[in-house]
């Protein structure tokens, strides 16, 4: 017979590297055609950071994302921006891009203000158009503006940005430290259906709320949450790398079972988007935080459904059955809360 | 023999019997003579250099190699090349020659259905097949159609959305304008801007390391240890060296610089030095003209070992008198992180209820769809360059410079497109051998792992054993938390020290707890090394905490949400490491999640206690339970359901 249950779990995560100075650098150049070159050692690992950085640069420089040319991932050609991990890409490099662009755009405003004879502050740009606030005639394309500055003024607009995030190392005796500057919190609810004849668990829904800071691209954030949740469904219910005397008995995907499209819950992502007050851009990150609550929410939901508490991952059908059989054979009444006992 | 190489290079020739293949591939007639043992995927990728379709497993399990043969979807890694003789083959490279992107590919782009992109060519092929078979396929039919394709990144949801969008546009139910970019707003930040790299991913145009070829390129293969712990007595490579086409054979003696590297502790040699510590450790590397010759050379190398006693259990490994795996690590302890805050013993004595439980998390494989691969070469200016999906090119460059004994500016790392990482590609486990071989031979060298090699050799998620003690007041207030965690770090440290730190710092969860005691101990064993993996130790320790809170709620007869609400950190909280936080949105996240889910408050497992049932099922955001075959039969256990849905070896005659 099938039983449904729900479980909840919270999570938190410190972003950028632990107990070390973390830093990311970029160079920016406003290029011919009103395009922008960004060089930084960023490394996309599939999460979409390159697109996010182009959105940030476009916003800061007054052009469109497709006008950005991003030099990346080559130690001989771009400044160091360190590794792709620790949920640090949008946070560290996104802020570095913003800082570099702000420096470049500040120079651009000054130069355009001088060219137009208006104050630098009144110079604005968006999506490839440049104008002076309050003037109907002082308006041109970014392409033209770059041309004018180069040809008539001999100015090439460049900038650089370095974002650092300082941490302190753990005191070896008591762990006292400031390991991260920013934290991401989260909570998830999972709904499962457990078949008590087979031990099979299906995850039907996951509702995931995370405070990701200012959001650069909601589609990519959802993508990270959905990917995390499904990876955690695998961890919770089926995945296990097994070794016997040091030799694996799960050497391929026939033995090492991964979730497929048939195993996935519907995922509802809820984004709390309050900007991070500690950083220029206000962004945080989500690559890792989203996986921290899911498996526990699923395991808690299994308990809620059938009253067995799985304490060993993964909760395979065999293990769930074993727990159910154990409980039945012990002929115990369903466990009574101890609240009555202690009151 | 070298004629074919000068012609542009075939993968194997000479020593293997060959067969002639005549086929139509992507509309063009091709005629080639290739080794008899080639599979369709080899023919397409290595012979025709059509690299859009990927090889993720070579065993029919992942679907990345899916292509059409005479209109029928096959897993081309399972089909011998002879099967396409006289047939018409369609790969992702040319799925829509006229429009650039097919409707499905455009829908994938629009919906954000590609992340690393490695599974996407196979997904697009399988989805194309599904909609060709049934243009009105339901979401469940689409799921079944994609059931033989694995995606490790996206969680499938956006892929399914994309296939549904394409279906609906095709049927006219949705206008084609749905594919357009969302209207431009006043800000590019916050927009659902479509991924700039997605067109290249959905069409298979983007190149991963294994898709790269260079003129005069050699192929690397590696002799790996069959033993978990052994002394290397003798390496006999003479027979291998004599095989024509073998260009270089490397052992640890060929490392010119300081041969010790690692993320936190430099305890790992490029190739085993005197002793092997886990099954799969690299011992000898070979670079040869073809992959087949490199494999033959590896088979001809004889390594004589003297077996040593091995440790597989971290608790045993910590005992006094256990074999020492690394000279510097007493009791095989790689890292011990301690958090001590307040007085846990006194607080436990004051608690109304003490709840104890032990939790175990397993060793997990990253299972990125792209197996490790790399291409190394020496540039004209003498700079040695490695292109590989390394997650940490900065650090790898520094380590490589030390290993090679070269200045840093003579070492260049380029991160090739990464087909999934999740932390698993932070470790530099093969780039050193590649660079050495390129320097020695003055030729480009490529190394592509098989799936089996990737699983055996790469780092895993640390398995944790967590003893948990929590003391609470009757009203649910946590007064003390004690966690003692022992993790299997495997044979080398890799990221173990960092993982122990993160598991300890974050382990007690986002809760305000005055008295905290955490021991997080990472231990060397002779198992596959453990390393970085998404949420880096916090996945394991927070899992225990969140299960434990549920157990406490059950004991206290409380709603698990209410228990959390009482204890969650709030603005101005002090963390377990005594960091002062200002803004804390933990409660807001919990409220948002339960609101979205329509959570019905109450104790866990109500029905089993004769209490009224939950009333929050069938809430928006949950799906129907899945039944194989159009929801007509009851669900069968996973083992058999899997073979039902994974197309088994398809014959295409
Ligand atoms: S490579 Fe063919 S199914 Fe995985
Ligand atoms: S996008 Fe599917 S495996 Fe990465």
- Reported as a single tens digit per residue, the pLDDT across B522-538 is 999 999 999 999 999 99
Q: Is the dihedral of CA A30, A34, A39, A43 positive or negative?
A: positive
Residue written as token pair 């070979």:
B286
Q: Do A11 and B542 touch (CB under 8 A)?
A: yes
Residue A336 to residue A327: CA distance in whole angstroms:
14
CA distance B4 to chain A (A): 33
Centroid of chain to Cα B39:
25
A288 catalytic per annotation: yes
Contacts of B556 in chain A (CB under 8 A): 337-339
Query: Per-residue confidence at B19, pLDDT binned at 50, 70, 90?
Result: very high
The active-site residue, picked from A176, A274, A288, A335, is A288
Contacts of B645 in chain A (CB under 8 A): 260, 262
Q: Do B577 and A195 touch (CB under 8 A)?
A: no
Residue B534 to residue A231: CA distance in whole angstroms:
10
Whether the pLDDT of residue B228 is over 60: the answer is: yes
**pLDDT at site A166:** 82
Q: How far is the CA of B410 from the centre of ligand 2 (A)?
A: 34
Residue B606 to residue B527: CA distance in whole angstroms:
42
H or E element: which one contains B28?
strand B28-35
Closest CA to A294 of A29, A54, A13, A4: A13
Percentage of chain A modeled with pLDDT above 70? 95
Highest mean pLDDT among A77-81, A143-147, A339-343: A143-147
Closest protein CA for atom 3 of ligand 1: B60
| pLDDT tens track for A184-223 | 999 999 999 999 999 999 999 999 999 999 999 999 999 9
**pLDDT at site B183:** 73
Query: Per-residue confidence at A329, pLDDT binned at 50, 70, 90?
Result: confident
H or E element: which one contains B448?
strand B445-448
| pLDDT tens track for A103-138 | 999 999 999 999 999 999 999 999 999 999 999 999
| pLDDT tens track for B440-457 | 999 999 999 999 999 999
Q: Quote the tokens at residue B489.
A: 């770090």
Percentage of chain B modeled with pLDDT above 90? 89
| pLDDT tens track for B597-641 | 999 999 999 988 889 999 999 999 999 988 765 443 333 333 333
Residue A19 to residue B197: CA distance in whole angstroms:
33
**pLDDT at site A331:** 59
Q: Quote the tokens at residue B538.
A: 């916090």
Query: Per-residue confidence at A21, pLDDT binned at 50, 70, 90?
Result: confident
Q: Which atom in ligand 1 lies closest to the alpha carbon of residue B63?
A: 3
Whether the pLDDT of residue A334 is over 70: the answer is: no
Contact (Cβ atoms closer than 8 angstroms) between residue B545 and residue B508: yes
Residue B244 to residue B606: CA distance in whole angstroms:
73
Task: State whether residue B592 sits within 8 Å of chain A by CB.
Answer: yes
Whether the pLDDT of residue B10 is over 70: the answer is: no
**pLDDT at site B14:** 46
Which of the ligands is closest to the CA of residue B74? 1
- Burial (CB < 10 A; 0-12, 13-18, 19+), residue B326, is middle
**pLDDT at site A335:** 57
Task: State whether residue B391 sits within 8 Å of chain A by CB.
Answer: yes
Whether the pLDDT of residue B307 is over 80: the answer is: yes
Angle ∠(A290,A295,A299) on CA atoms, nearest 5: 150
Q: How far is the CA of A212 from the centre of ligand 2 (A)?
A: 22
Contact (Cβ atoms closer than 8 angstroms) between residue A236 and residue A292: no
Residue written as token pair 């380590």:
B399
Residue A94 to residue B150: CA distance in whole angstroms:
31
Residue A192 to residue A171: CA distance in whole angstroms:
42
Residue A302 to residue A2: CA distance in whole angstroms:
11
**pLDDT at site B100:** 86
Tell me the CA distances in angstroms from B375 to B110, B217, B398, one per residue in order.
Answer: 33, 9, 18
Cis peptide before A314 (omega within 30 of 0): yes
Closest chain A CA to residue B146: A261
**pLDDT at site A142:** 98
Q: Quote the tokens at residue B579.
A: 């960091």
Whether the pLDDT of residue A147 is over 60: the answer is: yes
CA distance B87 to chain A (A): 29
Q: Which residues 6+ apart lie within 8 Å of B501 measured at CB?
A: A18, A19, A170, A179, B335, B337, B520, B537
- List the end-to-end C-alpha distance of chain B, in Å, as a whole number: 33
Residue B53 to residue B202: CA distance in whole angstroms:
11
| pLDDT tens track for B318-347 | 999 999 999 999 999 999 999 999 999 999
Residue written as token pair 């005069």:
B216
**pLDDT at site B643:** 35
Q: Do A12 and B509 touch (CB under 8 A)?
A: yes
CA distance B99 to chain A (A): 21
Whether the pLDDT of residue B204 is over 90: the answer is: yes
- DSSP letters for B538-574: HHHHHHHHHHHHHHHHHHHT--HHHHHHHHB--TT-B
Whether the pLDDT of residue B375 is over 60: the answer is: yes
Chain B interface test: which of A2, A9, A10 (most B C-beta within 10 Å): A10
Q: Do A241 and B528 touch (CB under 8 A)?
A: yes
**pLDDT at site B568:** 98
Residue B342 to residue B204: CA distance in whole angstroms:
57
Phi, psi of B202 (to 5 degrees): -75, -20
Whether the pLDDT of residue A305 is over 70: the answer is: yes
Q: Do B340 and A173 touch (CB under 8 A)?
A: yes
Closest CA to A100 of A23, A27, A24: A27
Whether the pLDDT of residue B359 is over 90: the answer is: yes
Percentage of chain A modeled with pLDDT above 90? 90
Residue written as token pair 């916003």:
A59
Which of the ligands is closest to the CA of residue B148? 1
Angle ∠(B443,B457,B463) on CA atoms, nearest 5: 150
Whether the pLDDT of residue A80 is over 80: the answer is: yes
Burial B406-426 (b: 16+ CB within 10 A, else e): beeebbbbbbbbbbbbbbbbb
Bridge partners of residue B487, in order along the sequence: B464, B522
Query: Per-residue confidence at A332, pLDDT binned at 50, 70, 90?
Result: low
Q: Write down how long chain A is.
A: 343
Note the ipTM here: 0.96
Average pLDDT over chain B, rounded to an integer: 93
Average pLDDT over chain A, rounded to an integer: 94
């Amino acid at each position: 017979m099938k039983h449904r249950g729900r479980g909840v779990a919270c999570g938190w995560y410190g972003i950028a590297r632990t107990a070390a100075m973390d830093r990311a650098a970029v160079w920016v150049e406003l290029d011919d055609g009103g395009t922008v070159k960004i060089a930084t050692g960023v490394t996309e690992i599939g999460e979409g950071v390159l697109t996010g950085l182009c959105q940030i640069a476009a916003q800061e420089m007054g052009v469109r994302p497709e006008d950005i040319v991003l030099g990346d991932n080559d130690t001989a050609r771009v400044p160091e921006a360190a590794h792709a991990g620790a949920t640090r890409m949008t946070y560290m490099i996104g802020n570095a891009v913003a800082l570099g662009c702000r420096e470049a755009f500040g120079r651009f405003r000054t130069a355009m203000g001088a060219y137009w004879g208006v104050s630098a502050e009144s110079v604005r740009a968006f999506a490839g158009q440049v104008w002076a606030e309050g003037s109907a005639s002082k308006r041109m394309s970014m392409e033209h503006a770059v041309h004018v500055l180069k040809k008539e003024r001999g100015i090439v607009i460049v900038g650089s940005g370095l974002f650092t995030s300082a941490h302190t190392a753990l005191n070896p005796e008591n762990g006292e430290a400031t390991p991260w500057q920013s934290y991401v919190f989260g909570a998830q609810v999972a709904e499962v259906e457990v078949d008590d004849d087979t031990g099979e668990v299906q995850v039907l829904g996951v509702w995931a709320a995370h405070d990701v800071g200012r959001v650069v691209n909601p589609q990519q954030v959802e993508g990270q949450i959905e990917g995390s949740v499904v990876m955690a469904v695998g961890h919770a219910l089926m995945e296990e790398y097994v070794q016997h005397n040091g030799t694996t008995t799960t050497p391929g995907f026939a033995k090492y079972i991964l979730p497929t499209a048939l195993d996935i819950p519907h995922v509802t992502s809820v984004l709390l988007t309050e900007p991070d007050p500690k950083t220029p851009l206000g962004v945080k990150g989500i690559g890792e935080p989203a996986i921290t609550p899911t498996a526990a929410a699923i395991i808690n939901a299994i308990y809620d459904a059938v009253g067995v508490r799985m304490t060993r991952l993964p909760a395979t059908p065999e293990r769930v059955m074993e727990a159910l059989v154990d409980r039945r054979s012990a002929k115990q009444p369903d466990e009574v809360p101890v609240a009555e006992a202690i009151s | 023999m070298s004629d074919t190489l000068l012609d542009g290079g075939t993968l194997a020739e000479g020593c293997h019997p060959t067969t002639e293949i005549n086929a139509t591939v992507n509309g063009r007639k091709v005629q080639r003579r290739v080794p008899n043992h080639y599979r369709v995927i080899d023919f397409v990728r290595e012979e025709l250099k059509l690299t859009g379709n990927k090889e993720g497993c070579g065993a029919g399990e992942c679907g990345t190699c899916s292509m059409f043969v005479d209109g029928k979807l096959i897993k081309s890694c399972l089909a011998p090349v002879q099967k396409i003789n006289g047939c018409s083959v369609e790969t992702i490279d040319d799925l829509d020659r006229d429009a650039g992107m097919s409707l499905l590919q455009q829908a994938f782009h629009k919906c954000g259905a590609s992340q690393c992109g490695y599974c996407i060519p196979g997904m697009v092929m399988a989805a194309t097949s599904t909609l060709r078979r049934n243009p009105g396929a339901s979401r469940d039919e689409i799921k079944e159609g994609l059931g033989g394709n694995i995606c490790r990144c996206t969680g499938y949801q956006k892929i399914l959305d994309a296939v549904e969008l394409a279906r609906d546009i095709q049927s006219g139910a949705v206008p084609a304008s749905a594919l357009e970019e969302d209207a431009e707003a006043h800000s590019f930040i916050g927009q659902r801007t479509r991924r700039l790299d997605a067109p290249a991913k959905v069409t298979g145009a983007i190149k991963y390391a294994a898709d790269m070829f260079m003129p005069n390129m050699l192929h690397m293969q590696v002799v790996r240890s069959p033993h978990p712990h052994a002394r290397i007595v003798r390496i006999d490579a003479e027979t291998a060296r004599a095989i024509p086409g073998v260009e270089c054979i490397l052992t640890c003696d060929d490392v010119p610089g300081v041969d010790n590297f690692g993320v936190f502790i430099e305890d790992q040699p490029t190739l085993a030095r005197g002793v092997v510590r886990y099954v799969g450790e690299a011992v000898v590397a070979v670079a040869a003209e073809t992959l087949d010759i490199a494999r033959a050379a590896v088979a001809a190398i004889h390594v004589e070992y003297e077996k040593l006693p091995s440790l597989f259990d971290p608790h045993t490994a910590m005992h006094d008198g256990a074999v020492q795996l690394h000279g510097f690590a007493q009791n095989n302890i790689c890292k011990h992180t301690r958090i001590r805050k307040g007085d846990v013993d006194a607080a436990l004595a004051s608690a109304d209820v003490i709840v104890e439980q032990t939790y175990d998390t397993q060793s997990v494989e990253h299972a990125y769809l792209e197996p490790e691969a790399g291409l190394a070469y020496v540039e004209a200016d003498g700079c040695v360059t490695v292109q590989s999906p390394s997650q940490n090119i900065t650090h790898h460059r520094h380590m490589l410079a030390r290993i090679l004994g070269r200045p840093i500016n003579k070492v260049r790392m380029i991160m090739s497109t990464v087909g999934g990482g999740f932390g698993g590609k932070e470790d530099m486990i093969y780039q050193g051998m590649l660079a050495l071989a390129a320097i020695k031979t003055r030729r480009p060298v490529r190394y592509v792992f098989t799936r089996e090699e990737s699983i055996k050799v790469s780092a895993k998620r640390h398995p944790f054993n967590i003893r948990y003690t929590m003391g609470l007041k009757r009203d649910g207030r946590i007064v003390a938390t004690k966690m003692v965690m022992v993790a299997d770090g495997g044979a080398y440290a890799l990221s173990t020290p960092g993982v122990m730190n993160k598991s300890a710092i974050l382990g007690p969860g986002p809760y305000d707890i005055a008295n905290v005691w955490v021991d997080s101990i990472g231990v060397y064993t002779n198992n596959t090394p453990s390393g970085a993996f998404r949420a880096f130790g916090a996945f394991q320790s927070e899992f225990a905490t969140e299960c434990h809170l549920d157990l406490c709620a059950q004991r206290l007869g409380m709603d698990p949400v209410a228990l959390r609400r009482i204890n969650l950190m709030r603005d101005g909280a002090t963390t377990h490491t005594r960091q002062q936080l200002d803004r804390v949105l933990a409660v807001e996240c919990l409220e948002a999640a339960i609101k979205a889910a329509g959570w019905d408050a109450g104790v866990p497992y109500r029905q089993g206690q004769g209490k009224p049932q939950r009333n929050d099922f069938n809430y928006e955001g949950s799906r129907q339970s899945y039944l194989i075959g159009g929801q007509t039969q009851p669900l069968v256990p996973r083992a058999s359901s899997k073979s039902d849905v994974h197309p088994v070896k398809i014959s295409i005659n």
